[in-house]
């Protein structure tokens, strides 16, 4: 027998007796090629036009329909009826045994210039061995060797909605894949009745065909969907969907569960293009972890977590948290140096807003990590931690964090962002709040300190306009210190059109501070801003020009040095809409020339009027006033 690729025996070119002759099987040949349990049909140009996989231990022929077929027709070469396109397994087909014995493996590749197709047999070799293919079809050989340097096992839905067949087919292969091999799920609806367990297999890739194409339906309640642990694992491109909404008692209903004390944390692993639906926790650390972190140095990209459906009793529920990452579950190692890109969570699966029983996103024991584009929307907040809770965290950077249509109705009041114990050096770059409702019998806030002392948080850019329709009663504060001590906030770049707030902060303990740095200065006498009234101008000579800006919700600041008439009752300039107080206010004015302290009135019409002055002098204006009291 001649030698084939990889030193394996060459594929036979004969067909079973009575098989029809198919033109164009091999250049110059007029017969079908049979390799173990696989029949491949080539068209006149040499392109694959049909592929049929038969049950191990049987001979392809009449009365023996294939387990799997890829063909444009409805018959195999022996007259057996098949489904046009890519067929699926039927329950009880013996496919799992074929996987375990290494007699069947599946690979991706082009068929007729089109999409994926199923290929081939391992000739009895274990799954993971290099494949030997037949003839000069080099394109097929490349795909058989896999896109990652090893095999790509392609699995199709069985159609068994009990979850038994798909779970067996997937888990049998996943449990043996290993680096550099890949399991890829075809487009379609898969059903599993237990956890797809990757935690003990080492480096491996578990892929779907896209989060909008491959759906992994979890049949049953209170079980994890996919479990990953160890080095260099990838879970990508699929939806992980519980058939009914998991509620607050289903604490093991974790769509993507990470980490294992025996096999370690996920390290340098990738989780991408995942749509997790109706879980209790969308992503969380394995609850059994006590020593390792769960994951570190990992990438999360394009993660969409969607809750708020009906539970098994047909009652609407919102689950516990979309994300709950607590490094080592508070007893083991901490999570470090991870990267999150484009994470979107919401809790309105059935249309109406539903409550998370915990924070929508809870992060604990995490350091030196980056979140780019975190979006938390459409849900009811019932935990004091609010939409985003941080505790035992340091060195975190959030770039573009958005909160929309959230209801805060707790007593005592809740915050959108909860700052817990041992938090240091947290940086938010651009925070926006839209269409949210703040109700209850106590204060609500944008940031709430939920415990501890000594926290430091910096916010660069807060966009929360007053005209977005949100209900802000009874009161909204920027920060509720919750009687903590030695907590520092710095907020820069507040949108001058809002946010609507009655106070800057409440419940401040000893050593607490909120520094609000204005960025949006409006300079009097420049294009687009009001001009000076007659007789007034900037003093110049290196002194600050006269300007006004928002320094906090409902708080404005006027600052600058001017030269003018000094006559009592003289109008200096008039504020535009959005900066006018609801009642008469006053700011300090220093007569630099005379060394006297005066005042200027800020009236509801926006006029800034010097109250009294002895002569035309140099005047320094510097003071804050409230838009509403």
- Residues 165-189 have pLDDT tens digits of 889 888 877 876 654 567 888 888 9
Q: Structure tokens of 182? A: 């890949």
pLDDT at 45: 61
CATH number at residue 579: 2.60.40
pLDDT digits 0-9 by tens, 235-286: 999 999 999 999 999 999 999 999 999 999 999 999 999 999 999 999 999 9
pLDDT at 604: 93
Does residue 583 form part of some domain? yes
pLDDT at 151: 57
pLDDT at 534: 87
Residue scoring higher pLDDT (97 or 43)? 43
Q: Does 340 score more than 70 pLDDT?
A: yes
> Of 22-31, 60-69, 461-470, 531-540, where does the model show the most confidence?
531-540
Total domains in the fold of the chain: 2
Across the range 392-408, mean pLDDT stands at: 90
Q: Does 346 score more than 90 pLDDT?
A: yes
Across the range 465-478, mean pLDDT stands at: 56
Contact by Cβ (8 Å): 24, 44: yes
Query: Looking at 134, 152, 185, which one is the last position of a domain?
Result: 185
Does residue 165 form part of some domain? yes
In whole angstroms, give the CA distance from residue 258 to residue 195.
12
pLDDT at 216: 97
Q: Does 116 score more than 50 pLDDT?
A: no
pLDDT at 43: 64
φ, ψ dihedrals at 604, nearest 5° = -60, -20
Query: How many other CB atoms are there within 10 angstroms of residue 192's CB atom?
Result: 25
Across the range 412-423, mean pLDDT stands at: 81
Does residue 379 form part of some domain? no
In whole angstroms, give the CA distance from residue 487 to residue 507.
12
Does residue 552 form part of some domain? yes
pLDDT at 89: 34
Across the range 501-516, mean pLDDT stands at: 77
In whole angstroms, give the CA distance from residue 27 to residue 100.
35
Residue 500 CA: distances (Å) to CA of 11, 190, 472, 474, 521: 76, 48, 8, 12, 19
> For residue 310, what pLDDT band results from cuts at 50, 70 and 90?
confident
> Of 114-128, 309-323, 324-338, 425-439, where does the model show the most confidence?
324-338
CA torsion 122→128→130→133, rounded to 10°? 30
> Of 7-21, 127-141, 323-337, where does the model show the most confidence?
323-337
In whole angstroms, give the CA distance from residue 209 to residue 229.
22
In whole angstroms, give the CA distance from residue 523 to residue 546.
6
DSSP 65-101: --SEEEESSSB-TTS-B--SEE----TTSSHHHHHHH
Structural domain boundaries enclosing 93: 1-185
Largest CA distance in the chain: 119
SS3 state of residue 295: strand
> Of 56-70, 95-109, 135-149, where does the model show the most confidence?
56-70
**Averaged pLDDT score across all residues of the chain:** 76
Does residue 465 form part of some domain? no
In whole angstroms, give the CA distance from residue 333 to residue 290.
8
Q: Structure tokens of 270? A: 């990738």
Query: How many other CB atoms are there within 10 angstroms of residue 364's CB atom?
Result: 23
Contact by Cβ (8 Å): 314, 255: no
Q: Does 24 score more than 60 pLDDT?
A: no
Across the range 497-516, mean pLDDT stands at: 71
Contact by Cβ (8 Å): 419, 450: yes
Does residue 430 form part of some domain? no
Determine which of 15-19, 122-126, 447-451 has the lowest per-residue pLDDT on average: 122-126
Residues 6+ apart with CB under 8 A from 341: 299, 300, 301, 302, 372, 373
Determine which of 232-246, 310-324, 595-609 has the lowest per-residue pLDDT on average: 310-324
Query: Looking at 162, 185, 208, which one is the last position of a domain?
Result: 185
pLDDT at 553: 59
Q: Does 560 score more than 70 pLDDT?
A: yes
Determine which of 12-26, 118-132, 419-433, 611-625 has the lowest per-residue pLDDT on average: 118-132
Q: Structure tokens of 462? A: 């807060």
Across the range 479-508, mean pLDDT stands at: 75
Determine which of 121-125, 203-207, 520-524, 566-570 has the lowest per-residue pLDDT on average: 121-125
Contact by Cβ (8 Å): 294, 265: yes
Determine which of 211-215, 227-231, 562-566 has the lowest per-residue pLDDT on average: 562-566
Residue 72 CA: distances (Å) to CA of 155, 378, 415, 453, 462: 19, 45, 58, 68, 57
Helix, strand and coil content of the chain, in percent to the nearest 5, comes to 5, 40, 55
Does residue 312 form part of some domain? no
Residue scoring higher pLDDT (218 or 75)? 218
CA atoms within 13 A on the CB side of 156: 21
Query: Looking at 164, 185, 206, which one is the last position of a domain?
Result: 185
In whole angstroms, give the CA distance from residue 201 to residue 165.
21
Determine which of 11-25, 51-65, 492-506 has the lowest per-residue pLDDT on average: 11-25
Determine which of 63-67, 193-197, 412-416, 504-508 has the lowest per-residue pLDDT on average: 412-416
Contact by Cβ (8 Å): 132, 123: yes
> For residue 527, what pLDDT band results from cuts at 50, 70 and 90?
confident
Share of the chain above pLDDT 90, in %: 34
Does residue 438 form part of some domain? no
């Amino acid at each position: 027998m001649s030698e084939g690729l990889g030193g394996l025996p060459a594929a036979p070119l004969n067909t079973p007796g009575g098989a029809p002759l198919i033109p164009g099987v091999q250049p110059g040949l007029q017969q079908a090629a049979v390799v173990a349990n696989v029949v491949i049909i080539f068209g006149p140009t040499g392109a694959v036009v049909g592929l049929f996989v038969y049950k191990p231990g049987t001979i392809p022929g009449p009365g023996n329909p294939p387990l799997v077929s890829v063909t444009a027709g409805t018959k195999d070469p022996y007259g057996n009826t098949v489904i046009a396109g890519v067929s699926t397994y039927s329950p009880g087909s013996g496919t799992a045994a074929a996987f375990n014995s290494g007699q069947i493996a599946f690979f991706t590749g082009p068929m007729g210039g089109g999409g994926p197709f199923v290929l081939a047999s391992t000739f009895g070799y274990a799954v993971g061995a290099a494949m030997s293919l037949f003839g000069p079809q080099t394109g097929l050989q490349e795909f058989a060797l896999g896109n990652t340097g090893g095999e790509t096992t392609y699995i199709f839905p069985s159609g068994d909605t009990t979850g038994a067949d798909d779970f067996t087919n997937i888990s049998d292969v996943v449990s043996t894949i290993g680096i550099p091999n890949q399991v890829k799920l075809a487009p379609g609806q898969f059903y599993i009745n237990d956890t797809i367990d990757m935690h003990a297999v080492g480096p491996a890739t578990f892929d779907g065909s896209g989060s909008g194409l491959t759906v992994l339906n979890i049949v049953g309640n209170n079980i994890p969907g996919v479990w990953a642990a160890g080095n260099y694992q990838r879970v990508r491109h699929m939806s992980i969907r519980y058939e009914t909404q998991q509620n607050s008692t289903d604490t093991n209903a974790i769509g993507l569960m990470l980490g294992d004390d025996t096999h370690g944390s996920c390290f340098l692993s990738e989780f991408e293009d995942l749509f997790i639906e109706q879980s209790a926790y969308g992503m969380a650390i394995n609850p059994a972890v006590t020593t390792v972190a769960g994951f570190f140095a990992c990438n999360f990209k394009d993660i969409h977590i969607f809750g708020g459906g009906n539970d098994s009793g047909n009652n609407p529920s919102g689950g516990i948290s979309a994300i709950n990452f607590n490094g080592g579950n508070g007893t083991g190692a901490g999570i470090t140096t991870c990267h999150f890109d484009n994470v979107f969570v919401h809790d309105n699966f059935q249309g109406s807003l539903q409550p998370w029983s915990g924070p929508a996103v809870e992060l604990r024991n995490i350091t030196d990590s980056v979140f780019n584009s975190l979006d938390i929307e459409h849900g009811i907040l019932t935990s004091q931690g609010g939409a985003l809770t941080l505790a035992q965290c340091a060195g975190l950077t959030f770039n573009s964090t958005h909160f929309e249509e959230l209801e805060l109705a707790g007593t005592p009041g809740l915050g959108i962002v909860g700052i817990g114990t041992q938090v240091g050096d947290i940086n938010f770059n651009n925070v926006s709040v839209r269409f949210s409702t703040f109700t209850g019998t106590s204060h609500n806030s944008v940031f709430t300190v939920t415990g501890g002392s000594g926290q430091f948080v910096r916010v660069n850019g807060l966009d929360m306009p007053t005209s977005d329709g949100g209900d802000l009663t009874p009161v909204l504060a920027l920060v509720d210190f919750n009687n903590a001590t030695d907590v520092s906030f710095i907020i820069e770049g507040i949108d001058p059109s809002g946010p609507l707030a009655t106070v800057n902060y409440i419940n401040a303990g000893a050593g607490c501070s909120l520094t609000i740095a204005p960025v949006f200065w409006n300079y009097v006498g420049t294009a687009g801003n009001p001009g000076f009234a007659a007789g007034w101008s900037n003093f110049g000579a290196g002194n600050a020009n006269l300007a006004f800006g928002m320094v906090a919700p409902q708080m404005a600041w006027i600052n600058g040095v001017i030269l003018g008439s000094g006559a009592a009752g003289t109008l200096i300039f008039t504020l535009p809409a959005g900066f006018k107080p609801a009642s008469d206010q006053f700011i300090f004015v220093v007569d630099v020339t005379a060394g006297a302290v005066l005042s200027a009135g800020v009236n509801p019409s926006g006029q800034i009027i010097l109250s009294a002055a002895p002569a035309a002098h140099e005047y320094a204006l510097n003071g804050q006033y409230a838009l509403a009291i």
